[in-house]
Amino acid sequence: MRIKFLGTHNSESRTTKLISYLIDGVLAIDAGSIPSELSFSEQQQIRAILLTHGHYDHIRGIPAFAFANTERLIPVFGTAEALNILRSHLLDGIIYPKLAEKDSFLGKPVLDLIAIEPFKTIRFEGYEITAIKVNHPCGAIGFEIKEANGHSAFCTGDTGPGLSQVWNMIHPDILITDVTFPNELASVAEESCHLCPDLLMHELENFQRIHRYFPRVISIHLTPNHEMTIKNELAVVSQKLKIQIDIAQEGEEFSLP
Ligand SMILES: [Zn+2]
Ligand SMILES: [Zn+2]
């Protein structure tokens, strides 16, 4: 499994991009920065978008991506709630054409918005994909993505603490997780349904208690002006748990395992 990170932050600037990453170049997890970080030919390789939830930093790139790929029908998987946000707030026929419907100016849909139910596994392009509810609003789910060789990654999407039920349902080799805030903002993290390094450590300890192993951890969704603090605090977690924790950067690629 190759994971290429396009955007790994929650705020956009010349050097920080909104959340998007590619699995093997064909599955896009979230769409915060697909158009700005990929060439048109790279965009054409994408077979589907898996949407974790309906917040702007995760759906922002969908209209421009669809507009550049009008010759085909691209599946977008997400909860009904997240897809309705996309329909009503971006593909609304006002700020962008209704590119998921046949009555847009194209006379055909470009996006196939497919509502998936949490806990039901779908098979797509050789992957087994299971959506699992996480602690975050706007129809938030995480995705377990399993390859034919049995290896899997779990993408938490945005999430707050309280993931024991999630851990009970998955056995990932890799965990790609929200770490939005530093520890001094732990209460803000809990209120806004995000994680900080200490909250992540607690969730990882629960994971280990359930599974007797730690997954490889890759952190994303960092707040840029707290990045150095978060990095130092994750190094402490890494030391305490004796595991490797990476912080993904824009453009970085991981080949696993
Ligand atoms: Zn969110
Ligand atoms: Zn977000």
DSSP per-residue string spanning 108-139 = S-SEEEEE--TT-EEEETTEEEEEEE-S-TTT
| Residue in the block written with tokens 């909250």 | 199
Task: Give residue 106's pLDDT band: very low, low, confident or very high (50, 70, 90).
Answer: confident
Nearest-angstrom CA–CA distance, 15 and 34: 15
CB neighbour burial string for 91-129, b if at least 16 within 10 angstroms, e if fewer: beeeebbbbbbeebebeebbbebeebeeeeeeebeebeb
Rounded mean pLDDT of 219-243?
98
Q: Which ligand is closest to the CA of 60, given by its number?
A: 2
Rounded mean pLDDT of 177-187?
98
Å from CA of 136 to ligand 2 middle:
10
Å from CA of 197 to ligand 1 middle:
18
Quickly count: other Cβ atoms within 10 Å of residue 244's Cβ: 10
Question: Which tokens hold the place of 204?
Answer: 């990882």
Å from CA of 147 to ligand 2 middle:
26
Reported as a single tens digit per residue, the pLDDT across 8-35 is: 999 999 999 999 999 999 999 999 999 9
Å from CA of 91 to ligand 2 middle:
19
Rounded mean pLDDT of 144-173?
96
Could you tell me the domains of the chain?
Answer: 2-255 (3.60.15.10)
Identify the pLDDT of residue 21: 98
- Percentage of residues in the chain with pLDDT exceeding 70? 100
Q: Which ligand is closest to the CA of 30, given by its number?
A: 2
Rounded mean pLDDT of 169-174?
96
Q: Is pLDDT of 257 > 80?
A: no
Å from CA of 247 to ligand 1 middle:
19
Å from CA of 47 to ligand 2 middle:
23
Å from CA of 10 to ligand 2 middle:
6
Reported as a single tens digit per residue, the pLDDT across 126-153 is: 999 999 999 999 999 999 999 999 999 9
Q: Is pLDDT of 82 > 90?
A: yes
